[in-house]
Structure formats: structure tokens, C-alpha cells
Amino acid sequence: MSYQVLARKWRPRSFAEVAGQEHVLRALINALDTGRLHHAYLFTGTRGVGKTTLARILAKCLNCETGVTSSPCGSCRACTEIDEGRFLDLIEIDAASRTGVDDTRDLLDNVAYAPSMGRFKVYLIDEVHMFSRSSFNALLKTLEEPPEHVKFVLATTDPQKVPVTVLSRCLQFNLKRFPVVTIANQLQRVLEAESVPAERTALETLAQAGEGSMRDAMSLLDQALAFGAGAVTATDVQRMLGAVDEPARFDLLEAVASGDASAVLAKVASLDEFAPDYEALLGDIVSMLHAIAIHQSVPEVAEHPVNDTARLQALAETIPPEDVQLFYQIGLVGRRDQPLVPVARHGFEMTLLRMMAFRPAERGALDSAPAAAVAPTPAPAPATTGPAARPADQLRAAVAGSQAPKAARVDTSRAAPETRGAVEMEHAPPQTAQPVVSAPAVTPVQSSAAPPAPIAPAAALELNADNWTEIVAALPVKGMPLQLAMHSVPQSRGANAVTLQLPQAHQHLAAPAFCERLQASLESYLGRSVSLDVQLATSELASPAQQKALDVEARQRQAEQAIYNDPVVQQLQNRFDGEVQADSIRPVDDGADHTP
């Protein structure tokens, strides 16, 4: 007798033999046991998850000579012929090869005839999404109201291409991918029944390579049996799949974590002798980085995709969490781009080198430059610590002793906490150090208004234009009432009466509800009753909002001027053809509260 592949030989013949898919099995078994049978079923899912297998088992359940049951006998004529693929009343159709409407009409012409042998005629249409639009239209009416002796079972890997009019006429079951453990256990049961020795690690590797498909994993098992001459070992499976064993993957990650580029390239060269699948190897490394990140965040999680948990724990303690996230992202991008590289090994090496090249610099590394490269900058006096006095220090540390490529752009979006005045440059070889002149100190821009006099206790305050800015900043109010106060100027009419002048451009702020809330906040702050009246003014007013806008504009001009006049920036512009991005300059917060 000719050899029968394992995927066909060990295909489940009853619901009890089906591994996984419990959510589908429960629905089908209950429907068969209670007699609540639908006329059309749609099984969806990726390849090799059991769509046609479940359809054939369902046909056996419907046509078993013992009656409609969820546990067919498996020995009657109907069950035997269905298992052997020669049951006349099970009509299997490959929609991929019969897409024309004429084929569909020929099929439907026979629907009205009674079954020749069994209880039901079961139409199994595989890859139904390949039907043409005309074929679906021809099927619709019959699919909605078929004869009582007909059942339709549709299967597809792409349900999005099936018209909603067809989906609405079927009971839809989505078959899930099989977990690695489920596939490995099934492979082990098959090999035990075949009396074939196997290593558990080899079975897990095959299960992972199956990518959730039981049939694919069975086919790989057949290939492994042929490769290993009747035995399944981890070494043979790894060589067959072009996979790299776990210790070698740990060696690579440890070399990357240590920043030893020579060791990384040497290990890749030794792996290249076995012609590994570099795209799959990158996927394995990304999975290991995921396991390291989980171990760092939730160390009590017991399940890991590796066997050597001691080395995993050591890496989790060695690599900082931010580096793990960086390596993971670079590995994902490298795996995506791997098919585009001219030489697979070179793309893999570049991904690992990129992980080391883009690691964050050690804290304080920029400050450890030789004394000859950066001239010491004296600490600025308190009076000269202005919004634009700090960008030069940041730029000096970033560019002294470095050389940027031609036409480097001076990006002011990455400077001090709010000044954004640094230079975006890759790591470059050092050049002859040159002294850098300290940037001129800049006195911070003060508000155009005169410094306010000390504020008296709140209960004794009289509201006026001189203290209004400080009072607004202390009021317990937000939102539109605060905007009303910000854009107004008070004119006191006494201890408890206040008139606010509001520009006509902001008259929408004078709504009664906003005025009432502002009056309540004034009374809460002052501790006394206040009568508030809002009047519209025809001219611009020196309101807190106007003063704030003028102050912000002046500080912005001061910051931009400091950047343009800084010797380091000028040096970058002249030497590297740099360009200052003016819209990214922000004044440094000098510690003063500039917000009224």
C-alpha cells in the first residue's frame, strides 16, 4: 500500500478527536443533540485549522445510519464512505476552480433531487469567496430556502470577500489558530501512535513553524521524519527549517547588549555556515526581547518562549528596559525590511548594528569631552540668566569635537527643556578640537508694566488696574470667567463696587453666567460682598491678557536673537551649511511666573 501522509492519516473522524476549536464543537454538538439544525453553515479561518474536517464530520453526523447524532458510529456504510471520500450525497466543490455562473447553475439544478443513499445531501463548497458575483447571486435564493433534504456547508479563508447577503443566510463559525502547545501535543500523540522517537523541543519548533495551522505542522513533521530517517531531533529540525538554536540566539543578544560589534559579527559569521533563515531568526530575537520585557515588568509570569530561563533573567537584569523597547522596535522594522535587502546576512547584521548604534548615550557622556575641546563656561550671574542664555551651553556640548555631514540642519526643537535649540546629528568621528567662545549672556525680558507694589491682605484690597493682574492670578476660577477677568481692566467705584472695562472684541465673555461666577470668585477671594458691573470699551486696554501677549512676544524675540547671535550656531551655519529652524525656538523658563 502506498504511503499516506500524516495529515490525512490522522485527520479527526469525530468531534471527540478534534483538538481545540471547543467553541465551534460545543455549538455543533448541542445543535445535533437538540435537533436545532440550520440549513447553511459557514466555517472561516486560516489554512489547516479544520474547516473541511469539521464539514465532513458534520456530514457523517447527519447521515449516520444510527440517526442524526453528534457521535457517529464510524462503521456504517455512510460513515465509511464519507471517510474514504466516495459518499455520493456529500458533494465537495472547489469554488476556486468553478467560479463561473454556469457551474453554479449546474450545481443548483441537482439540489431539488432527493439524496441517493443518505438522509441529507450535503454541499461542501470550499474557498467560497472565490465565487464570482453572478455565482453568488445564483446561489442566494437556494441558500436561503433550500429543500429539507439539503444542507450547505461553506468554508473560506477570507470571509471579508463573501457578500453580506450570503453571510446573513448562514451560521458563521470562526475557527481559531491552534496554540503552539496544542499543536505540539497533537504531534506527540501522533508520533507515539506511530512508535517514532521524538524530542519535545523539536516538536515545539515544528509547532511554532506551523504558525497556528495543524496541517502545516503535520506536513513539516512528515518532512522532519524524512530528514531524520525516522527520528525527530531538535538538531535535525533546526537544520531543516534553517532555524538557530536557543543558545546561539542568547549569545547574539548578549553580544548586542554588551555593545561588542566584533563579537556580533563573529557570531553571525559562524551562523551563516548553516544558511539560516535570517527573517525567521529576527522574529525569534524579537520574541525573546518580548519575553525579557515581560520578565522586567511582570516577573511572576511563568510562561516564557525559551527554555533557559536563567539566561533570560540575566539579560532582563542587564539590559535597561528602555533599551529592550528600542531593540524590539528596531528588530520589527528590520524584519519588515529583510526581504528588500540584496543579501540576507547583510540586512540581519545591519539590524543588530543599528540596535547598538542607536542606544541612548550614557548620562553625562557629552560633558566628559576633553578639556581642550570645550572651553570652560563660567556660570552666568543671576542677572544674566535669561531665556536665551542656555542654548549655547547645550549646543557647545553637542558639537565640540564632532563633525557633521554637509548640509546638516540646525534643529532647534531639541534644546533645553523649552528652548529647543540643539543640533540633530548622527555620531561622527572626532575632528581637531577648537575652542568655543561662550555665548553672550542675555537679560530676561521683563513685562512692560512696572513692578507691582506689595499686595495688602485680601480683605482690605481695593480692586484697581495696578493690582488686578496679581488678583486674577490668585482667583479660584477657571474657564470663561477667568478669560473675562484676563481681558478686562477694573475701575473701582468704592470698596465693594467694581466696574470692568471689556473690549468689544471680547463682548461674548460678558454673558450673565460668566459675570456671576467671576463675582462669586471675587467675593470668595476678598471675603466680602462685591458688586460687579461689566462695560464695553471702544479702545484697546492694558489688560492682563494683553500684557501677557506682549511679554511672550518680547521673550520670543529675545530667544530668537540669542540663538542667531550665538557663536556656536554661527559656526555651525558657516561650517556645515546649517539652517536654523526659527519656528522651533522657545524661550527658556527662567523660573518666573509669566502667566497672570
Domain containing 222 — which CATH number? 1.10.8.60
Answer whether residue 525 is part of any domain.
Answer: yes
- Winning range, highest mean pLDDT, from 252-256, 307-311, 395-399: 252-256
Strands 90-94 vs 40-44: parallel, antiparallel or unpaired:
unpaired
Identify the weakest region by mean pLDDT among 472-476, 495-499, 522-526.
Answer: 495-499
Q: Are residues 18 and 78 in the same domain?
A: yes
Higher pLDDT pick, 517 / 60: 60
Q: Are residues 188 and 294 in the same domain?
A: no
Give the pLDDT confidence of 521-542 residue by residue, as tens digits: 888 887 788 788 888 877 767 7
Domain boundary residue, one of 357, 390, 411: 357
Q: Are residues 261 and 236 in the same domain?
A: no
Domain boundary residue, one of 515, 541, 567: 541
The answer to whether 504 and 536 are in contact (CB under 8 A) is yes
Compute the distance between CA of residue 163 and CA of residue 218 in angstroms, rounded to an integer. 33
pLDDT at 68: 92
Higher pLDDT pick, 523 / 461: 523
Give the pLDDT confidence of 575-589 residue by residue, as tens digits: 888 888 877 888 876
Q: Are residues 155 and 12 in the same domain?
A: yes
The answer to whether 174 and 7 are in contact (CB under 8 A) is no
Higher pLDDT pick, 221 / 485: 221
State the virtual CA torsion across 529, 534, 540, 544 in degrees, nearest 10.
30
pLDDT at 361: 63
pLDDT at 458: 56
Confidence grade of residue 459 (pLDDT, cut at 50, 70, 90): low
CATH number at residue 277: 1.20.272.10
Could you give phi then psi for residue 509, rounded to 5 degrees?
A: -80, -10
pLDDT at 305: 59
Give the pLDDT confidence of 173-203 residue by residue, as tens digits: 999 999 988 999 999 999 999 888 888 888 9
pLDDT at 411 over 80: no
Compute the distance between CA of residue 321 and CA of residue 250 in angstroms, rounded to an integer. 17
pLDDT at 492: 60
Number of domains in the chain: 4
The answer to whether 536 and 507 are in contact (CB under 8 A) is yes
Percent of the chain at pLDDT above 90?
Answer: 31
Confidence grade of residue 231 (pLDDT, cut at 50, 70, 90): confident
CATH number at residue 147: 3.40.50.300
Confidence grade of residue 435 (pLDDT, cut at 50, 70, 90): very low
Compute the distance between CA of residue 455 and CA of residue 462 in angstroms, rounded to an integer. 10
The H-or-E segment that residue 90 falls in is strand 90-94
Query: Which residue's entry shows cell 495551522?
Result: 213
Answer whether residue 537 is part of any domain.
Answer: yes
Residues sharing a CB contact under 8 Å with residue 255, sequence separation 6 or more, in sequence order:
263, 264, 267
The answer to whether 441 and 392 are in contact (CB under 8 A) is no
Compute the distance between CA of residue 39 and CA of residue 120 in angstroms, rounded to an integer. 11
pTM: 0.55
CATH number at residue 532: 3.30.300.150
Q: Are residues 52 and 145 in the same domain?
A: yes
pLDDT at 353 over 80: yes
Higher pLDDT pick, 536 / 453: 536
- SS3 at position 124: strand
- Winning range, highest mean pLDDT, from 462-466, 478-482, 536-540: 478-482
Q: Are residues 208 and 320 in the same domain?
A: no
Q: Which amino acid is at 587?
A: P
The H-or-E segment that residue 93 falls in is strand 90-94
pLDDT at 99 over 50: yes
Confidence grade of residue 399 (pLDDT, cut at 50, 70, 90): very low
Percent of the chain at pLDDT above 70?
Answer: 79
pLDDT at 556 over 80: yes
pLDDT at 412 over 60: no
What is the rounded average pLDDT of the residues 338-363? 87
pLDDT at 1 over 60: no
- Winning range, highest mean pLDDT, from 1-10, 346-355, 409-418, 547-556: 346-355
pLDDT at 444 over 70: no
pLDDT at 336: 92
Query: Which residue's entry shows cell 528588530?
Result: 331
Q: Give me the domain span that covers residue 133.
A: 6-174
Q: Are residues 151 and 229 in the same domain?
A: no
Answer whether residue 374 is part of any domain.
Answer: no
Q: Are residues 261 and 212 in the same domain?
A: no
The answer to whether 428 and 403 are in contact (CB under 8 A) is yes
Confidence grade of residue 100 (pLDDT, cut at 50, 70, 90): confident
Q: Are residues 208 and 142 in the same domain?
A: no
Answer whether residue 26 is part of any domain.
Answer: yes
Give the CA diameter of the chain.
Answer: 113
What is the rounded average pLDDT of the residues 149-170? 92
Answer whether residue 16 is part of any domain.
Answer: yes
Q: Are residues 30 and 69 in the same domain?
A: yes
Answer whether residue 436 is part of any domain.
Answer: no
The answer to whether 121 and 115 are in contact (CB under 8 A) is yes
Q: Are residues 214 and 258 in the same domain?
A: no
Answer whether residue 133 is part of any domain.
Answer: yes
Strand locations in 418-563 (E):
489-492, 497-503, 531-537
pLDDT at 507: 79
Could you give phi then psi for residue 334, rounded to 5 degrees?
A: -65, -35
Average pLDDT, the chain: 79
Answer whether residue 438 is part of any domain.
Answer: no
The answer to whether 270 and 229 are in contact (CB under 8 A) is no
Higher pLDDT pick, 556 / 431: 556
Compute the distance between CA of residue 456 and CA of residue 33 in angstroms, rounded to an integer. 87
Q: Are residues 17 and 145 in the same domain?
A: yes
pLDDT at 405: 39
Domain boundary residue, one of 541, 558, 580: 541
pLDDT at 70 over 80: yes
What is the rounded average pLDDT of the residues 271-276? 84
